[in-house]
């Protein structure tokens, strides 16, 4: 591990201490977990990851109105939505 020093605003310190206490972990571990979470969130903002996630959704949701030809007749459905 690398030792480092950071400065927190009072509210950040209070929330972080409450989090650490609730999880039964040290303040340092709470900071590490928060940093890991932030870095993972940044990773999921990567465009390639978003495209892969979107591709997994294709065909996984059912159409509420029963349309089965949405991909081929999307213009017709869009036009009727604006009438």
Residues in the chain with pLDDT values less than 50: none
Q: What is the pLDDT of residue 5?
A: 94
* Tokens matching residue 18: 């409450």
Among all chains, which residue has been given the structure tokens 């340092």? 28
Cβ partners under 8 Å of residue 43, min gap 6? 49
Q: Per the domain annotation, does 50 fall within a domain?
A: yes
Q: Per the domain annotation, does 36 fall within a domain?
A: yes
Q: Per the domain annotation, does 77 fall within a domain?
A: no
Q: Per the domain annotation, does 65 fall within a domain?
A: no
| pTM assigned to the model | 0.50
Q: Per the domain annotation, does 80 fall within a domain?
A: no
Residue 18 domain boundaries: 7-59
d(CA 37, CA 22): 17
- Give me the number of domains the chain comprises: 1
Q: Are 60 and 70 in contact (CB under 8 A)?
A: no
Q: What is the pLDDT of residue 38?
A: 84
* Tokens matching residue 16: 């972080």
């Amino acid at each position: 591990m690398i030792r480092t020093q950071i400065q927190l605003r009072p509210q950040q310190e209070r929330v972080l201490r409450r989090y650490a206490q609730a999880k039964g972990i040290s303040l340092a571990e709470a900071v590490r977990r928060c940093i890991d979470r932030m870095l993972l969130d940044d990773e999921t903002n990567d465009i390639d990851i978003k495209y892969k996630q979107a591709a997994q959704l294709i065909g996984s949701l059912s159409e509420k109105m029963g349309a089965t030809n949405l991909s081929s007749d999307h213009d017709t459905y869009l036009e009727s939505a604006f009438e």
